[in-house]
Amino acid sequence: MTYIIGFLVVIFLVLTIMVISKMRNVLKGVNSTSEPTDNPEGNGWNAAMFIVFLVLGTVGFVWSYISAEKSFLPEASSIHGRRTDDLFWLSMGVLTIAFFFVNFLIFYFAWKYQYKSGRKATFYPENHKLEIIWTIVPAVIMALLVFTGWKAWSDITSDAPKDAEVFEIMGKQFGWYVRYPGVDNRQLGNYNYKLIDNQNEMGIDLSDENAFDDFISVSELHVPVNKPVLLKIRARDVLHSVFIPHMRVKMDAVPGMPTKFWFVPDKTTAQMRSDLTNPDFDYEIACTEVCGRGHFAMRLRLIVEDEASYQKWCAEQKTFLETYPEYLAKVPDNLKAKAMKYVPALGTPDSTMVQVTGASVGTSASLR
Amino acid sequence: MSVVETGIDAVVHEDENVHHDEQNFWRKYIFSEDHKVIAKQYLITGIFWAILGIAMSSVFRLQLGFPNADNSWLKPFLGKWIDEAGKIDPNFYLALVTMHGTIMVFFVLTAGLSGTFSNFLIPLQIGARDMASGFLNMLSYWFFFIASVIMFSSLFLQMGPAAGGWVIYPPLSALPQAHPGSGMGMTLWLTSMTLFIVSQLLGGINYITTVINLRTRGMTFSRLPLTIWAFMITAILGLISFPVLLSATLLLIFDRHFGTSFYLSEIYIGGEALPNVGGSPILFQHLFWFLGHPEVYIVLLPALGITSEIIATNSRKPIFGYRAMIASMLGIAFLAFVVWGHHMFVTGMNPFLGSVFMFLTLIIAVPSAVKAFNYITTLWQGNIVFTPAMLFSIGLVSFFVSGGLTGIILGNSALDIQLHDTYFVVAHFHIVMGAASAFGLFAGVYHWFPKMFGRMMNNTLGQVHFWLTFIGIYLVFFPMHYIGIAGFPRRYYQFTSYDFTKSFTDLNMFVTIAAVFTFFAQFIFLWNFFSSIFRGKKAPQNPWRSNTLEWTAPVNPGHGNWPGEIPAVYRWSYDYSKPGAPEDFIPQNVPYSQTLESNLPHENEQISMEAEIEAQNFNDQFKNTH
């Protein structure tokens, strides 16, 4: 590939030198005084170049598009994503017509009305009717685009349906933490940034009983297919941004101001793997707000699966408390009983376990 | 032409007897208050920054196009920023990207473009001896110079210059522990920009005041060339919007050094929970983009004004729709202040705001379209001379159209969800703002070089420079749209972390090669520019056969621009190829009484006012050069 590029560069240089030498030939015939000349040097060449550019540019445009479109993202895997994609290509279609038409006029006029000695330009300073026409026509087209866009935007940014699956995704330098509400009470517990430490990276507030069944993943976001997914997004150090290209999802993660975005994924990972005949395909989540050195490497896998598989996976995950049973100490006494449910390993002799207060040890044994 | 030089002796002014001593070298060339010298100072400084800014882009494009290459050959320039394996340090990559943006937007295309041409052309085209305040003008350059020195010095810090993107969003830019460049690098960036803003405000006030107060006799607003309209509107934009950037940076300085929480809230970083609560990073973004959006018009409008002038002159036709051009510039300027939120659609701000900003953003496309159509109609049935200036102006119109069209996509908030912070945005603004304004800069230099230096630049080299650059820029930025559509995010050091960014490696390589090629092509211009200053053919007084007033001044205008009386103006500056006229141009200072053969009916009626125009004397600047 490099050789092709190198070859093209050489061709370019050769063309350049040819152009320059041709210019020099034209120059030789021109007088060398500094008076404004009647026959501008090289005018014909430049006029011709505009047409050459027009032709080669059109060819280049078409060829490059055909070549590039293979590498575009596959069809969107979310409902709103297909809607915005359709709008995008419709708009691009309209704009491409304008692009060709207007650029054609620029280059064609430049060539057609090149200087001819003896000819006089047309003194044509204004035409109010024309101005009004080419004000109104773009305005109408623009209004249509705005209206369709506004409808889509309003729907996309509307409140999530009540039955949406909720997930919390927190960005940090340089990775993502995903917190799941847990299989029991389906509610995310509160958090407080002041509680963040090396184990409790998301600052889960264990005085909220909803937090007891929460579990965390740093490598993947599992969601069920064909159900609304609501992402509650935050960041703990600097600005990040959650970007799910295949789902056409993007929302900034702001320290101090939680944001959200909801969507409906309707193609499972398995289905994508089959459709794209790529057994290694994975939906990916990337950071898209510059956040420092590792900004380019904040990858999180997104796995979309059927409801049963999703529930099964959730049930297999260890809750936060289960992973760090020592945090039982942070649970208020009146809720300790409830919390113990989520720490099944408690009571077994394990040197890694931190001492728990006597009362809870007693109760945990009976709850086993 | 009709201005007869009266015997100055006949009119006795007291200050006539005050003989100005020949100024010493320092006052004449360094700390000069002459707008023409100051313009050249801005131009040279702008060129210096442009070389640096484009070189930076070549370096980070090398990283993107050839991620596995061994860049050890850059070690003499970049030292420890190239590691043992020959790879560019990822922190430094972000610094390069940040400084490239800062340098090009502010130092090259704001100071270098407005500073050069507003300074050079305003007095000469409106018929004034100099700016309203030569002293403030001189200060404006020297504040810019100091800002430049400070920004340049930040490049040599051990921890590196600022690296949070040219938009320097907090908390990344507020917390040194978030990125090494957010330490002293950011402090110097903020200091430099504060002084830069002061420089722009001083300059802007001067431009506006001069245009309002020092127009020559007969130069009504409706006879002003479009360049002046553009420069004045640009200055007003700057005057209103730069102070808001100043406030944004001031609050950032407070957050960084005085423990406040304007932008910071609930942050845990470097193993500690910071005490700040209550602030919002979104506040910074609002304040920044309140300047940021008008800023892109501050960058673009002077280029559009210059293009109007050059296209009319070289088509030998009046600019089509003079009044529509003014109205559209006013419309763009007004709307520029109410669209900033389109940079923030996915920041988490209230979606209702997103809808509002989308409506307003798509409205601003309409006057922009009008301008493009007017340029094209000016070409229609013209008699076009392809001077390098004309070529760059035509190229600008193409960039403005192509880049502007993709703006319509990005202004649509629903579509922006996928495209925000991808290479689609990078392609869009480079074409519509970067390339278009750079072309305005080139066009202006080629066109007014004879007036600035009394010599001509080499025509052939100029034409070659144009074609190589025009083709090169389209080759660089056109394919970038595809990369953006494929979802590639901005400010990524490399694309190896994701499957969805594994494609387009060849295209990225191609873009890099085209970019480096285009960079090298600029050396044709540099050679042409500098060697023509000393060895160019001597210029005639009006090499482009143009109507505007600057060409009635001597080839090398001295202090005071016109040696005798400043010409009075009787008509607009677009009487090209007027039916009935013997030549294909009629300069502004030719009265209607002398062009009876080509006057339109309403123009004949103005002949009676000529004596009145000549008798005007709002201040004594007209008669004496001082």
For residue A149, give the nearest of B172, B271, B414 by CB distance. Answer: B414
| pLDDT band at residue B11 under the 50/70/90 scheme | very low
Contact at CB, A23 and B464, closer than 8 angstroms: yes
Residues of A in contact with B409 (CB under 8 A): 88, 91-92, 95
Chain A closest CA to B38's CA: distance in Å? 27
Chain A closest CA to B562's CA: distance in Å? 22
Quick one: which H or E segment has residue B247? helix B226-257
B5 falls within a domain: no
pLDDT tens figures, B472-481 = 999 999 999 9
CA dihedral A51, A52, A58, A60 (to 10 degrees): -160
Contact at CB, B366 and A138, closer than 8 angstroms: yes
CB B301, CB B551: distance < 8 Å: no
For residue A238, give the nearest of B171, B280, B506 by CB distance. Answer: B171
| pLDDT band at residue B450 under the 50/70/90 scheme | very high
| pLDDT band at residue B16 under the 50/70/90 scheme | very low
Give the separation between CA B435 and CA B108, rounded to whole angstroms: 12
For residue B281, give the nearest of A19, A173, A254 by CB distance. Answer: A254
Give the separation between CA B421 and CA B425, rounded to whole angstroms: 6
For residue B346, give the nearest of A5, A149, A250 by CB distance. Answer: A250
Please work out, in degrees rounded to the nearest 5, the angle formed at the alpha carbon of residue B56 by the alpha carbons of B197 and B435. 70
B178 interface with A at CB cutoff 8 Å:
yes
Q: What is the CATH number of the domain that holds B452?
A: 1.20.210.10
Q: How many domains does chain B have?
A: 1
Give residue A161's pLDDT: 96
Strand partners for A230: A166, A262
pLDDT > 70: percent of chain A: 84
Give the separation between CA A277 and CA A279, rounded to whole angstroms: 6
Name which of A40-44, A275-279, B385-389, B604-608 the model is least confident about: A40-44
Chain A closest CA to B76's CA: distance in Å? 23
Residues B21-28 have a mean pLDDT of 78
Strand partners for A244: A249
Chain A closest CA to B95's CA: distance in Å? 10
For the beta carbon of residue A38, count every other beta carbon within 10 angstroms. Answer: 8
The pair of structure tokens assigned to B245 is 């950037």
Interface test with B, best of A103, A137, A288 (most B CBs within 10 A): A288
Contact at CB, B280 and A254, closer than 8 angstroms: yes
Give the separation between CA A248 and CA A240, rounded to whole angstroms: 17
Chain B closest CA to A347's CA: distance in Å? 32
Contact at CB, B91 and A293, closer than 8 angstroms: yes
Chain B closest CA to A79's CA: distance in Å? 13
Return the higher-pLDDT residue of B50 and A342.
B50
Give the separation between CA B97 and CA B86, rounded to whole angstroms: 19
**Longest Cα pair distance anywhere in chain A, in angstroms?**
108
Residues B91-112 have a mean pLDDT of 97
Give the separation between CA A169 and CA A202, rounded to whole angstroms: 10
| pLDDT band at residue B579 under the 50/70/90 scheme | very high
Give residue A358's pLDDT: 42
Mean per-residue pLDDT of chain B: 93
Return the higher-pLDDT residue of A24 and B211.
B211
Chain B closest CA to A332's CA: distance in Å? 23
User: Closest by alpha carbon to B567, among B232, B211, B215, B222?
Assistant: B215
Interface test with B, best of A120, A173, A261, A273 (most B CBs within 10 A): A120
Residues A109-133 have a mean pLDDT of 94
Give residue B112's pLDDT: 95
For residue A286, give the nearest of B319, B498, B539 by CB distance. Answer: B498
**Pair type for strands A220-224 and A165-172:** unpaired
Contact at CB, B479 and A68, closer than 8 angstroms: yes
Q: How far is CA A314 from CA A122, A167, A185, A225, B63, in A?
A: 77, 12, 13, 14, 41
**Hunting for tokens 């039955």 — which residue is that?**
A163
Give residue A13's pLDDT: 72
Give residue A365's pLDDT: 41
Give residue A9's pLDDT: 67
Chain B residue with Cα closest to A73: B486
CB A109, CB B344: distance < 8 Å: no
B357 interface with A at CB cutoff 8 Å:
no
Mean per-residue pLDDT of chain A: 87
Give the separation between CA B423 and CA B414, rounded to whole angstroms: 17
For residue A113, give the nearest of B321, B384, B387 by CB distance. Answer: B384
Please give the single-letter amino acid code of residue A100.
F
B477 falls within a domain: yes
Give the separation between CA B462 and CA B525, rounded to whole angstroms: 7
Contact at CB, B383 and A138, closer than 8 angstroms: no
Chain A residue with Cα closest to B172: A238
Please give the single-letter amino acid code of residue B18.
V
pLDDT tens figures, A224-280 = 999 999 999 999 999 999 999 999 999 999 999 999 999 999 999 999 999 999 999
CB B4, CB B592: distance < 8 Å: no
B546 falls within a domain: no
**Hunting for tokens 């002796």 — which residue is that?**
B9
Residues of A in contact with B387 (CB under 8 A): 40
**CB proximity under 8 Å: B 188-247 to A:** none
Containing structural domain, residue B310: 28-535
pLDDT tens figures, B481-531 = 999 999 999 999 999 999 999 999 999 999 999 999 999 999 999 999 999
For the beta carbon of residue B17, count every other beta carbon within 10 angstroms. Answer: 7
B345 SS3 class: coil
Residues B85-100 have a mean pLDDT of 96
Residues A98-118 have a mean pLDDT of 95
Contacts 24+ apart (CB under 8 A), A200-207: A200/A320, A200/A324, A200/A327, A201/A172, A201/A177, A202/A168, A202/A170, A202/A177, A202/A236, A203/A236, A203/B268, A204/A179, A204/A320, A206/A321, A206/A327, A206/A330, A206/A331, A206/A339, A207/A330, A207/A331, A207/A332, A207/A335
B558 falls within a domain: no
Residues of B in contact with A68 (CB under 8 A): 479, 482, 486, 504, 507
DSSP-derived secondary structure for A238-296 = S-EEEEEGGGTEEEEEBBTB-EEEEE-B-S-HHHHHHHTT-TT--EEEEE-S--STTGG
CB under 8 Å to A119, separation ≥6 — which residues? B383
Cα atoms found within 13 Å of the Cα of residue B45, Cβ hemisphere only: 29
Please give the single-letter amino acid code of residue B469.
T
B156 SS3 class: coil
Chain A closest CA to B576's CA: distance in Å? 7
Name which of A92-101, B13-22, B92-101, B388-397 the model is least confident about: B13-22
B297 interface with A at CB cutoff 8 Å:
no
Give residue A24's pLDDT: 64
Residues of B in contact with A281 (CB under 8 A): 499
pLDDT of residue B28 exceeding 90, the answer is: no
Strand partners for A220: A301
pLDDT tens figures, B285-314 = 999 999 999 999 999 999 999 999 999 999
**Which of A204-218, A242-256, A311-325 is most confident?**
A242-256
Give the separation between CA A162 and CA A147, rounded to whole angstroms: 27
**Pair type for strands A220-224 and A259-263:** unpaired
H-only helix segments in B380-458: 388-410, 413-419, 423-429, 436-453
Contact at CB, B510 and A5, closer than 8 angstroms: yes
- The top-level CATH class assigned to A165-333 is mainly beta
Chain A closest CA to B180's CA: distance in Å? 9
Contact at CB, B380 and A251, closer than 8 angstroms: no
Residues of A in contact with B395 (CB under 8 A): none
pLDDT of residue B621 exceeding 70, the answer is: no
B585 interface with A at CB cutoff 8 Å:
no
pLDDT of residue B417 exceeding 60, the answer is: yes
Give residue B26's pLDDT: 84
| pLDDT band at residue B7 under the 50/70/90 scheme | very low
pLDDT of residue A105 exceeding 70, the answer is: yes
Q: How far is CA B528 from CA A165, B386, B432, B539, B566, in A?
A: 65, 17, 26, 15, 33
Residues B384-412 have a mean pLDDT of 97
CB B124, CB B556: distance < 8 Å: no
Chain B closest CA to A226's CA: distance in Å? 21
pLDDT of residue B19 exceeding 60, the answer is: no
What's the DSSP call for residue A204? B
CB B306, CB A226: distance < 8 Å: no
pTM check: above 0.95: no
Cα atoms found within 13 Å of the Cα of residue B300, Cβ hemisphere only: 28
User: Closest by alpha carbon to B370, among B404, B406, B412?
Assistant: B404
Contact at CB, A237 and B391, closer than 8 angstroms: no
Contact at CB, B576 and A121, closer than 8 angstroms: yes
Residues of B in contact with A58 (CB under 8 A): none
Chain B residue with Cα closest to A64: B479
Residues of B in contact with A139 (CB under 8 A): 363, 366
**CB proximity under 8 Å: B 423-442 to A:** none
Give residue B27's pLDDT: 82
pLDDT of residue A62 exceeding 60, the answer is: yes
CA dihedral B58, B63, B65, B71 (to 10 degrees): 90
Give residue B141's pLDDT: 97
For residue B414, give the nearest of A152, A233, A243 by CB distance. Answer: A152
The pair of structure tokens assigned to B28 is 């004449």
Domain ranges of chain A: 165-333
Residues listed for chain B: 626
What's the DSSP call for residue B19? P
A117 SS3 class: coil
For residue B90, give the nearest of A92, A255, A293 by CB distance. Answer: A293
Residues A337-345 have a mean pLDDT of 80
Chain A closest CA to B21's CA: distance in Å? 35
Interface test with A, best of B308, B315, B415 (most A CBs within 10 A): B415
Give the separation between CA B122 and CA B107, rounded to whole angstroms: 20
Interface test with A, best of B455, B500, B502, B544 (most A CBs within 10 A): B500
Residues B612-624 have a mean pLDDT of 72
Residues of A in contact with B316 (CB under 8 A): 120-121
For residue A5, give the nearest of B401, B405, B509 by CB distance. Answer: B509
Number of cross-chain residue pairs from A and B with Cβ atoms under 8 Å apart? 373
Strand partners for A169: A178, A233
Q: How far is CA A70 from CA A73, A94, A353, in A?
A: 8, 22, 54
pLDDT tens figures, B556-574 = 999 999 998 899 999 999 9
Cα-to-chain-centroid distance, residue B427: 18
